Structure 1
């Protein structure tokens, strides 16, 4: 039988991850209101999206328990983000 405290810790971790995702989303929205150059805003939003993807991979897809998979997915998402940022600079 599962320990109830494990379920509580898992629920707390997911709730914290959700709160962090909300905060990062609000930060992305707030960046659009700033009078910064579009390339800076675009790069910052891509960086926030990269952090959000890592949280989703680790917490919601539970890849925190599979570090090799998490590292592989994180690397591919990071490379994709860098390609997008490079294309935005062109």
Structure 2
């Protein structure tokens, strides 16, 4: 893997971690919990994609990457549903 690719992956993970910190600040300022929870899950999913694709080398195996993205994307949607359903039910 070229060093340039690792550098971009590392920088994107730093930016996504900064986004996580910004979401945490929003939670402390009494933002809408459902929106901040969904944003946290979205940032975690984006970080997972960077890690799987660049650090674990799935960019070289597109079919495996698509499979992992599909399964973990479905899992994130399931978690989002489980998080939002109690809020909508109340």
Same fold, judged at TM 0.5 (above): yes
For 1:41 and 1:29, how far apart are their aligned partners in 2? 11
2:24 to 16, 25, 32: 32
Q: CA deviation at 1:12?
A: 1.2
For 1:49 and 1:87, how far apart are their aligned partners in 2? 16
1:80 and 2:78 are equivalent in the alignment: no
| Structure possessing the higher radius of gyration over alpha carbons | 1
Q: CA deviation at 1:16?
A: 1.0
Structure 1 consecutive aligned stretches of length 4 or more whose deviation exceeds 6 Å: none
The number of equivalent residue pairs is 82
For 2:77 and 2:24, how far apart are their aligned partners in 1? 20
Residue aligned with 2:67, SS:
helix
Where do 5+ consecutive residues of structure 1 fail to align? 1-6
Where do 5+ consecutive residues of structure 2 fail to align? none
Scaled by the length of structure 1, what TM-score is found?
0.85
Q: Deviations over 1:69-90 (max 9, x none)?
A: 0000001110110111111112
For 1:32 and 1:56, how far apart are their aligned partners in 2? 22
Q: CA deviation at 1:32?
A: 1.7
RMSD of the TM alignment (CA)? 1.1
Scaled by the length of structure 2, what TM-score is found?
0.85
Structure 1 stretch 28-37 or stretch 68-77: which is displaced more? 28-37
